[in-house]
Structure formats: structure tokens, C-alpha cells
Structure 1
């Protein structure tokens, strides 16, 4: 079963290899704003950390600064900070553990953002609290970069210009439609006009 266990900060063993780089100032702002909701995840097979290395580095900085622990961190009887660590997961091998370490970071990075929705959300956060925006790792300039360029600045579409009216030549052949009362009258008229050399055809 997965569970949270409070462990002494100095005793948490880190991964042998961790290629992930960390923006420690931004992580620090986040922890100072929202507290330490979860310091990291431990592999019960190896006893080593598989997630949370940047958070633990920041917590160690805060200890060195001599400040009070953020919300979510306890102080042991000996004065050592106790941090919340997720337990209950075990890797199958060292490669499996390192695979999870990489996936834990890369799956979030590869997802990307809906830039328009992110810009709207960051704008609302900024209007509510400027310090809150800073804790997210973004600033007002980032919001401007997320908003697409104003389409109103684009040149207007060309308006079709009217030209000279094209003259339509009259047809070379003229015709007359004659309405007959009966089929017999139609047949008689066709025969008479044909005999006069006219080009005729019947219409139904």
C-alpha cells in the first residue's frame, strides 16, 4: 500500500544517477507559497529516492538558512526536519528504477501546454496575486509571449475592383415559340413551316 512516511531529511538517500536539472529558486518560491505537500518518492527495493531531488535540495537550503520549516514539514525531538516521503513502491531492477526516475519527469515535460488556456489561467492568477504568479515560475512577460499576435494588425484582404461590363453579343439565330391548342394543330403547323424551309422542332 502506498503511504506517506516522515523521514529525517539528512538520512534520505538520493539516486545514484539523476540527469534532471532543477530550477531551485522557483522550487523554493513554490514551497514557501504552498508548503511541502510531498517531498519525494522512495524506492523500497533500493532505499533510494526516485523523485523529489530538487525539492530536497531546496529543503536543505532552507535548513541552512536557519528559517522555520515550511508547512508540511515536522521537526523531530532532536531538531531534525522530518519531510513527507511517499513509500510503498519497489522497482524490479536498477534499470527499472532509473526508468521510472526519467519517466516521472519526462511524461510531464512532453505533455506541453494549451497556450491559450495557460495564458488565461496565469492572467487570472496574476490579477489575484502577483506573488502567486511568481510562485508558479511564470512572470507577466511570459503571459505576453503566450498570447498570440493580434490578428487585427494583419493587412486587410484585397477588395475586388469593378471592371468594365462585358458586352454580350446577340445570338445569330432568332426563334419564336408558338403555343398550340391541340396536338393535331401542332403537327399541322410543324409540317407547314418545314415545307417553307424553316428549322422547327416540337416542344412537349
Structure 2
């Protein structure tokens, strides 16, 4: 006899996803909405079988409700039921032992992703590529100017990708003012800018 998998994914009506009122995590809902709009619904929410409430995915749930209220299109990754309701993929099969464990996991699942930090070299390489190839996609990551400057201070510019011939694609002298600051890029919409030390590209990570 084959036993059922201990974890499985099923589609559940958005209206049947109760949030845990004890959830202490705040959310930047507009950023979550933008992420779902740009990339689809990638990460499933997780239900606690003991309580019937979410153990992970409160921000995504709130964002989907707001998207539906606004009349936005069904995101990629969701399904429609016969009445036009949104069906959300939910990971099922986990059950907490008691309320204390459930509330501890509510916090832990949010703390773990941030605990390891970032590897400066690989992160800077990806961001530098986005800065040159797709600035709008870079902007969607919402790195602030201070975060970018701190990151770039931690990496060796020689290790980052440059132009196709291995040389800088931009004249660095044109990007800096005489007092060592950034020169005006000439684009009012991207006035607050950061310069990549490898390619010289000026971009606005915090827009």
C-alpha cells in the first residue's frame, strides 16, 4: 500500500485562506503586488493542518486580495473556479503541535531568509548585469542607494563583468563631478544615481 505524500500542493479558494491573527510580520503590499504582477505567483503559501490557518504567505494572501479588489488580471500560477474566484496553490500536510510552535514558526520562516545575508561578489555581478541590460528590472528589486554603495565597497571591480571586449563600456570620467560625486546623468527621472565601478553605468536602484 502506498502512503500519501506528507506534503502536497492543492488549489484552494482565496476566500478560504484564513490568516493567523497572531502573525507579527508586516508587509510592503505594493512591492508584493508588483512582484506577483511581474513574475507570477511563484512561492506557494503554507497551511497549518491543526489550525486551518496560514503558517506562511500572509503577505501574498493580502496582496492577492488587494489585486482582486482592484480588478487586476488573474496572476500566472493561479486558477479560476467555475464562479470566477481565484484558486491559490497551497502547500498542505504540515501540522503544528500547539499554538506556541505555530507562532514560533511564523517568526522563524520570516527570519531564516534574512539570516544568511548576501554574498557581495555574486550579488554585485547580478546587479551590475541588470543595471546595464534591464534597469527597470533592477529598480524592481528596490535596493537603496546606501545599500548599493555599501555593496560596491565590498567587491573588487576587476571581478565584475564589463564590456564584451573586457573593457569598460562607459567613460568613467564623464560620470563623476569634480568634487568626487556623481555627475548629472541628464535624466531627471533617474537623478538619484549610483555608478557601477566595473562598467561605469549610472542607475537609480532606489526608484
What TM-score bracket applies, with the shorter chain setting the length? 0.5 to 0.7
The normalised TM-score by structure 2 is: 0.67
Query: What is the alpha-carbon distance in structure 2 between the residues aligned to residue 26 and residue 137 of structure 1?
Result: 9
TM-superposed CA distance for 1:30, in Å, is: 1.2
Structure 2 CA distance for partners of 1:92 and 1:149, relative to 1, 3 Å: closer
Which piece of structure 1 moves more, 23-32 or 122-131?
122-131
Q: How many residues align?
A: 151
Query: What is the alpha-carbon distance in structure 1 between the residues aligned to residue 155 and residue 62 of structure 2?
Result: 42
Query: What is the alpha-carbon distance in structure 2 between the residues aligned to residue 13 and residue 150 of structure 1?
Result: 44
* Residue in structure 2 matched with residue 134 of structure 1 by the alignment: 139
Alignment of 1:38-53 (within 5 A): 38-53=43-58
* Residue in structure 1 matched with residue 37 of structure 2 by the alignment: 32
The normalised TM-score by structure 1 is: 0.67
* Residue in structure 2 matched with residue 18 of structure 1 by the alignment: 23
Larger Rg: 1
Q: Deviations over 1:34-82 (max 9, x none)?
A: 1002341100111000111111111111101112111001111111111
Query: What is the alpha-carbon distance in structure 2 between the residues aligned to residue 123 and residue 109 of structure 1?
Result: 22
Unaligned runs of 5+ in 2: 1-5, 157-207
TM-superposed CA distance for 1:142, in Å, is: 4.1
Q: Is the 8 A contact 1:38 1:85 kept in 2?
A: no
Alignment RMSD (CA, Å): 2.1
Query: What is the alpha-carbon distance in structure 2 between the residues aligned to residue 41 and residue 126 of structure 1?
Result: 34
Alignment of 1:60-79 (within 5 A): 60-79=65-84
Equivalent residue in structure 2 for 1:144, among 143, 149, 167:
149
Unaligned runs of 5+ in 1: 152-204
TM-superposed CA distance for 1:145, in Å, is: 3.7
Q: Which has the higher helix share?
A: 1
* Residue in structure 2 matched with residue 158 of structure 1 by the alignment: none
Q: Is the 8 A contact 2:121 2:155 kept in 1?
A: no
Structure 2 CA distance for partners of 1:38 and 1:114, relative to 1, 3 Å: closer
* Residue in structure 2 matched with residue 117 of structure 1 by the alignment: 122
